[in-house]
Amino acid sequence: MSAHIIAAIVEHKPGVLFKITNLIRRRGFNISSISVGATENPNLARITMVVEGDEATVEQIAKQLQKIVEVVKISRLNPSESVIRELLLVKVHVADSRARSDILGYTQIFRGRIIDVIPDSMIVEVTGGPNKINAFVELMKQYGIKELARTGITALARGEKV
């Protein structure tokens, strides 16, 4: 079992996301993350999914998704040939000035940004691949994470491939 990335270009119509998630549910597959957003074409949306499963399962998901009438294109993204990004927002507890300067330092190292500050907590924004996000979340645990939100990944194939 490993994680696979499926990107779907779909017609921007009501009910498409329902169809996709319902199909994945009905065939007994698992989604670990899904993100939806606009594309260069206002009539089309891009859905990026991370699904768990062996090669045969993922191949089957991709083929079943392709059958949905509003699905224009399904691609499987190879992680080593793709740009993969995820956005993290994390609200961290700040106990003292020492903690504050540590968090600021880590944020700088991870090329993140401080979005909001109040005396005893701050919100940090970090983007990157899932491993980088995981590492940052691990670091923040020692200070106490009050709230955390991840968007799930979005991705594009590198180079000329579309």
Partner 1 sequence: MVRMTGAKALIESLKREGAKVIFGLPGGAILPVYDVLYDEADLRHILVRHEQCAAHMADGYARASNSVGVCMATSGPGATNLTTGIATAYMDSSPVVAITGQVPTNMIGRDAFQEADIVGIMTPITKHCFQPRSAEDIPRIVKEAFYIASTGRPGPVLIDLPRDIQQMEADMEFPENVKLLGYNPKLDPHPLQIKRAAKLLIEAEKPFILAGGGVKLSGAYMELIALAELLQAPIGTTLMGKGAVPEDHPLCIGGVGMHGGVANKVICESDVILAVGVRFSDRTTGRFDSFCPEAKIIHIDIDSAEINKNIRVHIPIVADARRALKAIYDEIIGYASKPSVRRSEWIKRVNELVEAAKEYLEHEDGKLTAPAVIREIRNLMPRNSILVTEVGQNQMWAYLHFKVLMPGGYITSGGLGTMGFGFPAALGAKIARSDLPVVDLAGDGSFLMTEQDLATSVAEDIPVTVVVLNNGVLGMVAQWQRLFYRRRYSHVYLGRIPDFVKLAEAYGASGVRVESLNDFKEAFAKALKSDITTVIDILIDPEENVLPMIPPGGSLKDMMWRR
Question: Which positions touch partner 1 (CB under 8 A)?
Answer: 10-11, 15, 18-19, 22-23, 26, 56, 59-60, 63-64, 66-73
* Least distance CB 17 / partner 1 (angstroms): 12
* Least distance CB 19 / partner 1 (angstroms): 6
* Least distance CB 14 / partner 1 (angstroms): 8
* Least distance CB 58 / partner 1 (angstroms): 12
What is the b/e burial string over 14-44, where b = at least 16 CB atoms within 10 angstroms of the residue's CB? eebeebbeebbeeeebebebbbbeeeeeeee
* Least distance CB 159 / partner 1 (angstroms): 25
**Crossing angle of the two packed helices 130-141 and 97-109, in degrees rounded to 10:** 170
Q: How far apart are CA 93 and CA 124, in angstroms?
A: 11
Nearest to 102 by CA among 129, 124, 128, 127: 124
Q: Where are the beta strands (DSSP E) in the chain?
A: 2-11, 30-38, 44-53, 71-77, 82-93, 113-118, 121-128, 145-150, 154-157
Nearer to partner 1, 17 or 89 (CB): 17
Nearer to partner 1, 15 or 119 (CB): 15
Lookup: tokens for 118: 């109040």
Nearer to partner 1, 21 or 151 (CB): 21
Q: Where are the alpha helices (DSSP H) in the chain?
A: 16-26, 55-66, 97-109, 130-141
Nearer to partner 1, 71 or 133 (CB): 71
Nearer to partner 1, 1 or 56 (CB): 56
